[in-house]
C-alpha cells in the first residue's frame, strides 16, 4: 500500500519536473513568486482573485505569469491585450476554449463546424427578417415564465440566469426540446477545478466526458434527432413533390440542409444534431447572462426605471397593431443601449478570453511565449482604467455611452467582451438585439427591484463572474 503511494508520488513529481524543464528557453514573462509546488498561486487565484491579480500587476508589470492548478498561465494587461485579441495567426480563443469544455468530445459527430461562420452567414445577415419572430417568441416566453398579473401582486424570482436561459432559448430555438438543460449542464464543466492540469491541460474534463461519466449532450441528442428526422423527411419530400411552389422554412436547420446538399437517402442525423447544439451553446449562454445581469442592474437601481420607461414608451409608438416593433426601432433605444453596454462593461470578470498560443510569439515589449501556452486577458484592468473608460470607471453610470458612437455591439480597445479584430463574435448583433427587445418588453410591463433592496453584485468564482442568484421582485405595472 505504502509502496504504491510512494511510487505514485514519485511519478507525479517526475511528470511535473519533466514538464517544467521541457519548456523552451525563451524570454518568458516574470513568474510571480510562490511557496508551495503544484498548488502555487491557486488559493489566492480562487479566493482573492481581484486583489491578487492587482498586486501581481503592480509588482511585475503588464505581462506576468502565475502558477495555478499545476500550470503556468500568463496574464496580459490592457497595454498588450490587443496583440492577443487581434493576432489570430498566433493566438486562438477556440483552442483554449476546448481545454475547458471539450466540444470535440461532447459534439463528436459535428465534424468541422465553423459556428462563427454559420452565425455570420445565416443569422446576422437576416436580423431584420428574424426581428418579428424574435419579439413574438420573447413575448410568449415572458408570459409563460413570468406571467405576473396586476391582481397577483409582486412575485419573487431567484436565480435570474436559469430563468433567462428558458426565456432567451425560446426565440433562439423554440422548436427544439431539451436545449435549455443542455446549456446549464454544459456550463458546469467550466466550474470543475482542473486538478490534473499539471499533467495534461483539461485532463479531468476530458476524462469525465470520454469515459461517459458526464456527457450532457447524450441525453438530449435522441430527442433532437427524433425531431430532426421528422423535419428533414418532410422538407426534402415536400420540396421534391411541390418544386418551386414549396414553401421554404426559414431557419438554421434549413440553411444547413441546403449548405451541405443533404440527401434524404444519406442523412447523418447525429451530425446535424451536434451542429445545432453548437449553435445553441454559442447563442444562448452569452445572451442569457447579459439579460440576467441587465435585469439585476436595473432592479438594483430603480431610480433609472422612469427615464428608461419614458424612452421605451416613445419607441413603442412605432409598433404595429400586434405590438411588434420594426427592426429599425432598436436604433432609437439610445438610453437602453447605453444601459446594456454599461452592464456588459461591468460584467464582473477579473480575467477572461483565454487564448492558446499557436506558435512561439514575441510581444512588442520583447517578452516571449512558447507554443501551446495559455494566456488570460486582464479584463478588469481594461474596464477599470480611467483613460479608457472616462471618469469614475468603477461606478455604474448607465448613460455614459450616449453620444459617444459606442453602441453595445461595437467592439473597441475599451470594450473587449466580444473579442476584437476579424474574429470578434459575429453573433453579438443578434445577442444585443435580443437583449434590447427583452428589456423593452420588461420595462414597459413591469416594475422591478431587488428583494434585498440593495445593489446586488455579480458572484465571483475565482476570477470569473456569474449573474447574482439573489431574488428580484417583479410586479405588473398598473394601467394609467
**Binding region for heme:** 425
Neighbours of 417 (CB within 10 A): 21
Q: What is the dihedral sign for C-alpha 309, 310, 311, 316?
A: positive
Return the residue matching grid coordinates 448607465. 398
Instruction: Write the DSSP assignment of 91-117 as a string of letters.
Output: EEHHHHHHHHS-HHHHTTTS-S--HHH
CB 197 within 8 A of CB 99: no
CB 301 within 8 A of CB 396: yes
Partnered with residue 266 across adjacent β-strands are 263
- Parallel/antiparallel/unpaired status of strands 472-476 and 155-157: antiparallel
Close Cβ partners of 110 (under 8 Å, ≥ 6 residues apart): 103, 271, 274, 275, 277, 278
**Helices then strands, each counted (H, E), the chain:** 19, 12
Return the residue matching grid coordinates 453602441. 407
Cα separations in angstroms, 51 against 39, 47, 352, 395, 416: 18, 10, 16, 18, 22
348: helix, strand or coil: coil
Q: Show binding-site residues.
A: 425
Amino acid at each position: 500500500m505504502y509502496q504504491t503511494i510512494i511510487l505514485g508520488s514519485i511519478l507525479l513529481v517526475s511528470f511535473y519536473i519533466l514538464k517544467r524543464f521541457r519548456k523552451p528557453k525563451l524570454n518568458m514573462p516574470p513568474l510571480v513568486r510562490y511557496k508551495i509546488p503544484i498548488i502555487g498561486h491557486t488559493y489566492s487565484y480562487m479566493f482573492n482573485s481581484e486583489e491578487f491579480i492587482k498586486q501581481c500587476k503592480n509588482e511585475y508589470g503588464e505581462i506576468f505569469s502565475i502558477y495555478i492548478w499545476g500550470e503556468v498561465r500568463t496574464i496580459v494587461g490592457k497595454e498588450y491585450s490587443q496583440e492577443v485579441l487581434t493576432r489570430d495567426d498566433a493566438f486562438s480563443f477556440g483552442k483554449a476554449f476546448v481545454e475547458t469544455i471539450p466540444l470535440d468530445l461532447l459534439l463528436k459527430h459535428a465534424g468541422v463546424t465553423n459556428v462563427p461562420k454559420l452565425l455570420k452567414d445565416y443569422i446576422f445577415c437576416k436580423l431584420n427578417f428574424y426581428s418579428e419572430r424574435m419579439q413574438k417568441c420573447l413575448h410568449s416566453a415572458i408570459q409563460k415564465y413570468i406571467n405576473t398579473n396586476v391582481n397577483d401582486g409582486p412575485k419573487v424570482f431567484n436565480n435570474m440566469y436559469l430563468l433567462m436561459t428558458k426565456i432567451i432559448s425560446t426565440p433562439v430555438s423554440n422548436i427544439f426540446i431539451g436545449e435549455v438543460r443542455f446549456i446549464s449542464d454544459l456550463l458546469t464543466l467550466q466550474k470543475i477545478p482542473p486538478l490534473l492540469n499539471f499533467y495534461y491541460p483539461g485532463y479531468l474534463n476530458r476524462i469525465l466526458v470520454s469515459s461517459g461519466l458526464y456527457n450532457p449532450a447524450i441525453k438530449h441528442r435522441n430527442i433532437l434527432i427524433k425531431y430532426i428526422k421528422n423535419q428533414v423527411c418532410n422538407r426534402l419530400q415536400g420540396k421534391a413533390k411541390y418544386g418551386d411552389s414549396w414553401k421554404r422554412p426559414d431557419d438554421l436547420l434549413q440553411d444547413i440542409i441546403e449548405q451541405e446538399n443533404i440527401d434524404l437517402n444519406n442523412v447523418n442525423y447525429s451530425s446535424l444534431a451536434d451542429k445545432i447544439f453548437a449553435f445553441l451553446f454559442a447563442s444562448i449562454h452569452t445572451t442569457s447572462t447579459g439579460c440576467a445581469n441587465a435585469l439585476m442592474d436595473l432592479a438594483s437601481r430603480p431610480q433609472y426605471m422612469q427615464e428608461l420607461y419614458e424612452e421605451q414608451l416613445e419607441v413603442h409608438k412605432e409598433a404595429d397593431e400586434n405590438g411588434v416593433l420594426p427592426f429599425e426601432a432598436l436604433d432609437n433605444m439610445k438610453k437602453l443601449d447605453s444601459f446594456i453596454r454599461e452592464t456588459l462593461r461591468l460584467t464582473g470578470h477579473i480575467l477572461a478570453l483565454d487564448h492558446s498560443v499557436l506558435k512561439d510569439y514575441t510581444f512588442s515589449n520583447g517578452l516571449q511565449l512558447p507554443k501551446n501556452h495559455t494566456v488570460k486577458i486582464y479584463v478588469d484592468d481594461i474596464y477599470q482604467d480611467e483613460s479608457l473608460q472616462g471618469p469614475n470607471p468603477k461606478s455604474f453610470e448607465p448613460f455614459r455611452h450616449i453620444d459617444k458612437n459606442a453602441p453595445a455591439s461595437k467592439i473597441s480597445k475599451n470594450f473587449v467582451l466580444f473579442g476584437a479584430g476579424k474574429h470578434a463574435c459575429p453573433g453579438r448583433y443578434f445577442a444585443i438585439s435580443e437583449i434590447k427587445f427583452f428589456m423593452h418588453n420588461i420595462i414597459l410591463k413591469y416594475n422591478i427591484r431587488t428583494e434585498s433592496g440593495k445593489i446586488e453584485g455579480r458572484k465571483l468564482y475565482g476570477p470569473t463572474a456569474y449573474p447574482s442568484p439573489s431574488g428580484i421582485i417583479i410586479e405588473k405595472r398598473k394601467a394609467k
